[in-house]
Amino acid sequence: VPIGIAPSAMQKMAHPEGEAATARAARDAGTLMIVSTIATTSLEDVREAAPDGRRWFQLYVYRDRDVTRALVQRAEQAGYSALVLTVDTPYFGQRLADVRNKLALPPGLKMANFKEADFQNVAPAAGGGSGLSTYASALFDPSLTWKDVDWLKSITHLPVIIKGILRVQVSRVVRMLRFCQAFSEELPLLLQTSKFSKYLTSGGPLGFTQLLPVWF
């Protein structure tokens, strides 16, 4: 089973070189890196860190479609080979750790893919809570439909991969709750009922048994 690096935001919060170091590691491992829109290293600088690496670009649909369009054009120009559209994040789940810790970008870090101040910073939320949730609520479009997928396909020559589909009922009601099914539990049913034959799954498996449906 091919293994790649899923889109992970704000990596400079964990390592001073952030996404650039991840890009080099992915290249050296001979695998794929999916670069997050809300990275702390610009998509162009990620490319420069590992020009010969394999890269896809993870994308949100912003309320301002021109923001999304500009990111798509930059990804094409920077040599990314696919777009990964995240569809399960217009409404963030209740990330309790982020709320307790009042998640925000520390001084000196910013969303490096943006020049506009409103898009650069995950600031502390008013009254406490998660700044990331506030950022998403303000800027991401919560009204995504299949028409938005068609629109995205119409403005790019890159393949578009949709990230975040499990089941409609799950994504609407229990996303990110403790009792939400894992993708590995839903995969057999998806394979039986869907016209698609290939799936990618992101996340951290809790044990070997969660990987078995993916392998077999």
User: Could you tell me the residue ranges of all domains in the chain?
Assistant: 11-166, 181-216
Q: Per-residue pLDDT tens for 159-206?
A: 999 887 665 444 444 344 444 455 556 666 655 655 555 656 665 555
Q: Looking at residues 121-131, what average pLDDT do you find? A: 49
- Determine the Cα–Cα distance for residues 23 and 25; give it in Å rounded to an integer: 5
- Which CATH fold would you assign to the domain 11-166? TIM Barrel (3.20.20)
Best CA proximity match to 12, nearest among 158, 123, 111: 111
pLDDT of residue 109: 83
Q: How many residues does the chain have?
A: 216
Q: Per-residue pLDDT tens for 7-55?
A: 988 899 889 999 999 999 999 999 999 999 989 999 999 999 999 999 9
pLDDT at 157 over 60: yes
Range from 15-24, 59-68, 112-121, 167-176 that averages highest in pLDDT: 15-24
Best CA proximity match to 21, nearest among 31, 30, 11: 11
- Between 131 and 51, the higher pLDDT residue: 51
Which DSSP symbol is given to 56? E
What is the chain's Cα-based Rg? 17
Instruction: For residue 163, list its beta bridge partners.
Output: 86
